[in-house]
Amino acid sequence: MRDPLLETSGKIVGFYEREYYCFSNFSSFAVEWQGRLWPTSEHAYQAAKFFGEYPEIVEEIAKVRSAHEAMKLAKVTHLDKVPSDWDSRKAGVMEDICRHKLSQHPYVRKKLLETSEMDMVEDSPKDGFWGWGADKKGRNELGKIWMRLRDEIKK
């Protein structure tokens, strides 16, 4: 269901669905990162949890077709193997992946510049860390990453 604020205010760019979906990690923009071409930025992010320790899990994630499958492998099937320090590293990893995605896809760059000075929100009702969550009071870390990258390319 669409949020009326996103449809009428012109001040918030939501990218969980709709016109700005290219900023979602689930959008089908392949990303070359860490010497490999990943089908989506979600694949790269989920695989990064297992770099070094579990190359077989990295391969498994790299080979699945959808971003949803990649997420399920990391967050359900292999959750017990995620390093204990992942939470302290995950935002930096995500920003690096998004920076690569931006540099490799002119369309993503164009859409990012179109957002001008608007607030960018991963308007996912499911994720209060990367998005705004069900109560719309989440941290929106992915939105913040995209706004920082926008500021960088405008300089």
Res. 17 pLDDT band, cuts 50 70 90 = confident
Q: If 0-12 CB within 10 Å is exposed, 13-18 middle and 19+ buried, where does residue 85 land?
A: exposed
CB 132 within 8 A of CB 47: no
Q: What is the pTM of this model?
A: 0.91
**HSE (side-chain half, CA atoms, 13 Å) at 44:** 28
- Average pLDDT (114-137) is 94
CB 139 within 8 A of CB 127: no
- The rounded mean pLDDT for the chain is 93
pLDDT of residue 3: 46
- Confidence check: pLDDT of 2 > 50: no
What domains are there in the chain, each with its CATH number? 12-154 (1.10.357.40)
Please report the DSSP string for 93-104 in residue order: HHHHHHHHHHHH
